[in-house]
């Protein structure tokens, strides 16, 4: 290799220049085509007017937001306050909520509604939908995993939470 290092360097430099040229100037070589913009078409001024019989009116869908956590690890007791877009959340539905750990049945999703009511959703809940007129102020996912003892202090244990919540923001 000691005798042929110049030819090796020159060959690799030429290949680099060739590939650089192919990527820098696409479409300048025969047989190559570039993906360009489609040709512009003219549209009539009254394209959305009532005189077109097959015109379609597009109504935008309400924006749907998703709050989710997948195998979120915690130890002991943990509260995860979910940030809402807007002031309230309406059309709230809990798609899935699972909790793992010691005494995980004490974990919950806490929903505070506009009128001050509070709902506690236990783990294992799936596809729970609330009335569309109810508006939530805050949503908190609370995890609980403790080794409970009568006399001594309870000790923290590791646990995981998984949740998915859909809602529509309200300003």
The pLDDT of residue 72:
92
Sign of the alpha-carbon dihedral angle for 118, 111, 145, 105 = positive
Asked whether the beta carbons of 114 and 89 are under 8 A apart, the reply is no
pLDDT in tens, 147-159: 988 888 889 999 9
Please give the DSSP secondary-structure letter assigned to residue 48: T
CB atoms within 10 A of CB 123: 21
Return the structure tokens found at 118: 């509070």
Reported confidence tier of residue 65, pLDDT bands at 50, 70, 90: confident
Asked whether the beta carbons of 69 and 80 are under 8 A apart, the reply is yes
SS3 10: helix
The pLDDT of residue 2:
66
Query: Can you give the pTM of this predicted structure?
Result: 0.62
CATH class as words, domain 65-170: mainly beta
Beta strands 158-170 and 65-82 are antiparallel
Cα distances from 97 to residues 8, 40, 81, 109, 158, in angstroms, run 62, 50, 15, 8, 17
Whether 45 shows a pLDDT value over 70: the answer reads no
**Phi, psi angle pair for 15, to nearest 5°:** -65, -40
Q: Residue ranges per domain, the chain?
A: 1-32, 65-170
The pLDDT of residue 55:
77
Closest CA to 140 of 76, 63, 84, 74: 84
Could you tell me how far CA 70 lies from the centroid of its own chain? 11
């Amino acid at each position: 290799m000691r005798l042929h290092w110049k030819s090796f360097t020159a060959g690799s430099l030429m290949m680099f220049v060739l590939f650089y040229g192919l990527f820098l100037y696409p479409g300048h070589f025969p047989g190559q085509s570039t993906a360009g913009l489609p040709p512009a078409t003219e549209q009539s001024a009254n394209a959305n007017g009532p005189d077109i019989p097959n015109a379609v009116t597009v109504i935008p869908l309400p924006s749907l937001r998703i709050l989710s956590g997948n195998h979120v690890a915690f130890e002991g007791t943990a509260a995860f306050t979910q940030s809402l877009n807007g002031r309230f959340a309406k059309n709230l539905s809990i798609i899935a909520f699972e909790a793992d750990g010691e005494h995980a049945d004490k974990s919950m999703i806490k929903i505070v509604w506009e009128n001050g009511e509070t709902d506690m959703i236990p783990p294992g809940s799936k596809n729970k939908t609330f009335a569309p007129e109810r508006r939530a102020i805050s949503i908190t996912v609370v995890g609980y995993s403790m080794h409970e003892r009568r006399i001594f202090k309870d000790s923290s244990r590791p646990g995981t939470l998984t949740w998915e919540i859909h809602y529509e923001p309200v300003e």
